[in-house]
Amino acid sequence: MRAIYYSPLIFAALLASCGNERTPRAAAAPGGSVPVRIAPVSTQDWPAVYEAAGTVRARTTATIASRVTGYVERVDVQVGDRVRRGQTLITLDARDFEIGVRSAEAGRAEAQSAIPEADSGVAAAKAGLDLARTTFRRMEELNAKKSISSQEFDEASARLKSAQANYEMARARRVQLDSKLAQAAQEVESATIARDWTRITAPFDGIVAAKTADPGNLAAPGAPLMAIEQEGGYRLEAAVDESRLPSVRAGQAVEVELDALRRRLNAKISEVVPAVDAASRTYVVKVDLPTDPQLRSGMFGRAVFPLGAQRSLTAPASALVERGQLQSVFVVEDGAARTRLITAGRRTKDAVEILSGLSAGERVVAPVPPDLQDGARLEVRP
């Protein structure tokens, strides 16, 4: 009975005894000190730059077209192939031109075959002439001696003249034949050249930049079949905003960053196209690029125009600890490493711009040893 009187209170006492839990984890500070190198955070000049996007283009580009009309028979190169001067690029169907060559050759052979006959004609005329001249000389002597009649002399004289004419004629025929032969040879040559035009070759060492011809196409004179860019001479054509005009002039040195090559090239502005494109408020600046075997036209590049310098806080790149988008450094404070959250801006190979979280003169751990933790004691090595 009495227990009942106490019951709410006992119940209360029971409640009081339960439900008191605490996490006892209070890890001790890291024991030994970690040897590190440190570097100061300093204010440094960062180049203020303006970047203009552009495209790499070759300085010399040949657009290849056929001289003759004909069906494309074979294309020997593909876009991007490197070609040597004279290398065959496209072969057209040459059958028409073969026929021309052959008929010219036939003409030449015919002319040639007439030569011996003409030669013998000349020889015969020459023999006749010689005979007529000998006869005439004898008749002349005889005439002087008046041993022959004038009739006979006149006859001999006439025979000589006729033989002479004969000979002249034979000779003329021979000469004519020669020129005919020369003509035939000419024809052969021109037919050969025409035939050779069906084999289109590279005009210089370069790279195939474009190709429109495929076997079966009809190539007509003037229609571009292929574009070849001369190797070695590239430039960047960048569109620069109108308001940047004052800071850009021809001859100025600029850096060109090529993302594909992951490289920066030192280049020089060769030309500032004087007209502004009203549609985009830009004008084109041409920057000559140094020779580089990996350059290709059409590559994306940025011209980096210097605008001056900007003072920014800078820390060594090796001090930066990145975890996802969380950026931090270890600051040395009272001989211990302290995690300091920062935001990093621009970076170079060995420096990083600090946008927030650090002040000049602070010392950071760089490089960061693996597993360095907040609060670790540090032993600074020179």
Partner 1 sequence: MSAPRRLGPAGRFAQAWISSKLTPLLIAAALLIGAFAVWRLPREEEPQIIVPMIDVFVEMPGASAREVEERVTKPMEKLLWEIPGVEYIYSTSSPGSSMAIVRFYVGQDEEKSIVRLNQKLMANFDLIPPGASQPLVKPRSIDDVPILALTLSSGRYGDFELRRIAAQADDAIKQVPDVSAVTLIGGQKREIRIALDAAKLAGYGLSPLQVGGALSLSNRRLPSGQFAAGNREYVLETGEFLRTAEDVRDVVAGVANGKPVFVRDVAEVTDGGEEPSEYVRMALAGSRQFLPAVTISIAKRKGTNAVIVADNVLKRMDALKGGVIPSDVNVAVTRNYGDTAAEKSNELLFHMLIAVASVSLLIAITLGFRESLIVFIAIPVTLALTLAVFYLYGYTLNRITLFALIFSIGILVDDAIVIVENIVRHWRMPANRARHPFEVAIEAVDEVGNPTILATLTVVAAILPMAFVGGLMGPYMRPIPVGASAAMVFSLLVAFMVTPWAAVRILKRAQGEERGEREDVFTRFYRRAMGAILHKPALRGGFLGGVVLLLLGSVSLFYFEFVKVKMLPFDNKSEFQVIVDMPNGTTLEETARAADALARATLGQPEVVNLQTYAGTASPFNFNGLVRHYYLRRGPNVADIQVNLLPKGERKLQSHEIAKQVRQRLLPVAGRYGARIKVAEVPPGPPVLETLVAEVYGPSLGERLGIARRIRDLWKRTPGVVDVDWYVEDDQPEYRLIVDKEKAALNGVSEDDIARTMQMASGGYQAGLLHAESEKEDVALMVRLDRASRSDLERIQDLKVAGSNGRLTAIRELVRSEPVVVDQSIYHKNLMPVTYVTGDVAGAMESPVYALLKLAPDMARMRAPEGYAIEQNMSTAQPSGAERYSVRWDGEWHITVEVFRDLGIAFAAVLILIYALVVGWFQSFVTPLVIMAAIPFSLVGILPAHGLMGAFFTATSMIGFIAGAGIVVRNSIILVDFVELRLAEGMALDAAVIDAGAVRFRPMMLTAAAVVAGAAIILFDPIFQGLAIALMAGEVASLALSRMTVPIVYYAVNLRRKSQ
Region at 324 (left for phi over 0; alpha for psi -120 to 50; beta for the rest)? left
CB of 300 to partner 1, least distance (A): 5
CB of 78 to partner 1, least distance (A): 18
Torsion 330-331-333-338 (CA) sign: negative
CB of 259 to partner 1, least distance (A): 7
Residue 259: C-alpha distances to residues 256, 302, 334, 341, 357 (Å): 10, 8, 44, 30, 31
Examine residue 316 and tell whether it contacts partner 1 (CB under 8 A).
no
Of 121, 206, 316, 357, the one binding partner 1 by CB under 8 A: 357
CB of 4 to partner 1, least distance (A): 6
Give the 3-state secondary structure of residue 2. Answer: helix
* Residue that the structure tokens 């490089």 belong to: 367
Q: Which is nearer to partner 1, 21 or 146 (CB)?
A: 21
CB of 3 to partner 1, least distance (A): 10
Torsion 258-261-262-266 (CA) sign: negative
Q: Which DSSP symbol is given to 68?
A: S
Q: Which is nearer to partner 1, 113 or 247 (CB)?
A: 247
Q: Cβ distance 356 to 314 under 8 Å?
A: no
Q: Which stretch binds partner 1 (CB under 8 A): 31-39, 62-70, 187-195, 318-326?
A: 318-326
Examine residue 275 and tell whether it contacts partner 1 (CB under 8 A).
no
The residues that bridge with 253 in the sheet, in sequence order, are: 268
Tokens of 132: 């007529």
- Cα angle, residue 174 at apex, residues 172 and 167 outer, rounded to 5°: 50
Question: Binders of partner 1: how many residues, by CB under 8 A?
Answer: 64
Rounded Cα gap, residues 329 and 340, in angstroms: 5
Examine residue 366 and tell whether it contacts partner 1 (CB under 8 A).
no
CB of 280 to partner 1, least distance (A): 4
Examine residue 145 and tell whether it contacts partner 1 (CB under 8 A).
no
Q: Which is nearer to partner 1, 87 or 339 (CB)?
A: 339
Examine residue 375 and tell whether it contacts partner 1 (CB under 8 A).
yes
Pairing of strands 363-365, 336-347: unpaired
Of 9, 275, 361, 381, the one binding partner 1 by CB under 8 A: 9
Q: Which stretch binds partner 1 (CB under 8 A): 1-9, 167-175, 203-211, 248-256?
A: 1-9
Q: Which DSSP symbol is given to 205?
A: S
Residues 35-48: b if buried by 16+ CB within 10 A, e if exposed = ebebbebeeeebee
Map the footprint of partner 1 across residues 332-351, applying CB under 8 A: 338-347
Q: Which is nearer to partner 1, 7 or 147 (CB)?
A: 7
Examine residue 235 and tell whether it contacts partner 1 (CB under 8 A).
no
Residues that bind partner 1 (CB under 8 A): 4-5, 7-9, 11-13, 15-16, 18-23, 25-30, 48, 50-55, 239, 241-243, 259, 277-282, 300, 302, 307, 323-326, 338-347, 353, 355-357, 373-375
